[in-house]
């Protein structure tokens, strides 16, 4: 059975300041001493949760993507997080799954946070990204997607093994964040990882982190609140297989189809 070592970076972000954030995150990534395979950054890690894509978006050939390529290559890691991207005249809150080779996968956030007017500034995606590494299948999603269980729901016996959410989830609704991360793990019998930011953003909205790793039974393996943190944890495929074999609940699940 294989293992997968992942590192969560829970950090404050400098509001709408790409250079400050990329410099800060480069230092944090370089400081990781443990051997790790995947490093996870928060949502919109280069700007914070900005509704100004006209000012801060980049093409896929832009500075932040090149920075991700450089960091992934130099540390020999997979690096993931979301950034503001302009593509074919539209703006996206786009998660990038950057490999050490410079190849990448991408996922455009499907559920745009209308409460903060995100839907009037960004275009929604309509395709899931399930990446693969070392025999692990990883479903990658962004923040508000967490509230919509159908979008994350396993559609086959072993469609994916790990579900990752990158976020700028505010402290005032953090009970939902913690509860739903555990719920997604239990109902999909998978590991769930949520990486959130800390600190105030440019709208004076406070974020208290509460990044978590949850096992397939809903048990919390890692949890950190109200401070910056870099934590590395190794997931075990054997544990995942044991849970799925002992409790084959998904065999009784309803069949369904997600429409565009």
What residue ranges define each of the domains in the chain, with the CATH number in brackets?
Answer: 3-252 (3.60.110.10)
CA distance readout (Å), 120 to 46, 145, 249: 21, 17, 40
- Mean pLDDT, residues 210-236 taken together: 98
Which of 16, 118, 143, 224 is flagged as catalytic? 143
pLDDT of residue 57: 98
DSSP tally for the chain: helices H, then strands E: 6, 13
**CA 89: distance to chain centroid?**
25
Asked if 143 is an active-site residue, the reply is yes
Asked if 43 is an active-site residue, the reply is yes
Which of 18, 69, 109, 224 is flagged as catalytic? 109
Asked if 109 is an active-site residue, the reply is yes
Integer Rg of the chain from CA: 17
Write the pLDDT tens digit of every residue in 95-144. 999 999 999 999 999 999 999 999 999 999 999 999 999 999 999 999 99
Question: Phi-psi category of 145—alpha, beta or left, where left has phi over 0 and alpha has psi -120 to 50?
Answer: alpha
Is pLDDT above 70 for 214? yes
Which of 16, 37, 43, 58 is flagged as catalytic? 43
8 forms beta bridges with: 40, 231
pTM of structure? 0.97
Q: Mean of the per-residue pLDDT values for the chain?
A: 97
């Amino acid at each position: 059975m294989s293992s997968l070592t992942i590192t969560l970076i829970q950090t404050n972000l400098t509001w709408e300041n790409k250079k400050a954030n990329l410099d800060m995150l480069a230092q944090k990534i370089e400081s990781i001493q443990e051997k790790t395979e995947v490093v996870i950054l928060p949502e919109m890690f280069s700007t914070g949760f900005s509704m100004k894509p006209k000012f801060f978006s980049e093409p896929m050939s832009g500075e932040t993507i090149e920075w991700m390529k450089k960091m992934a290559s130099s540390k020999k890691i997979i690096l993931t997080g979301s950034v503001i991207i302009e593509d074919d005249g539209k703006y996206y809150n786009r998660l990038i799954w950057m490999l050490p080779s410079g190849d990448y996968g991408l996922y455009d956030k499907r559920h745009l946070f209308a409460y903060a007017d995100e839907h009037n500034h960004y275009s929604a995606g309509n395709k899931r990204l399930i990446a693969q590494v070392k025999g692990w299948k990883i479903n990658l999603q962004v923040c508000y997607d967490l509230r919509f269980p159908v979008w994350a729901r396993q559609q086959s016996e072993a469609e994916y093994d790990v579900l990752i959410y990158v976020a700028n989830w505010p402290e005032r609704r953090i009970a939902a964040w913690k509860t739903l991360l555990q719920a997604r793990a239990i109902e999909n019998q998978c590991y769930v990882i949520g990486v959130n930011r800390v600190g105030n953003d440019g709208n004076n909205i406070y974020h208290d982190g509460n990044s978590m790793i949850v096992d397939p039974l809903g048990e919390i393996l890692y949890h950190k609140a109200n401070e910056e943190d870099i934590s590395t944890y190794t997931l075990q495929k054997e544990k995942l297989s044991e849970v799925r074999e002992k409790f084959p609940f998904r065999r009784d699940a309803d069949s369904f189809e997600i429409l565009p």
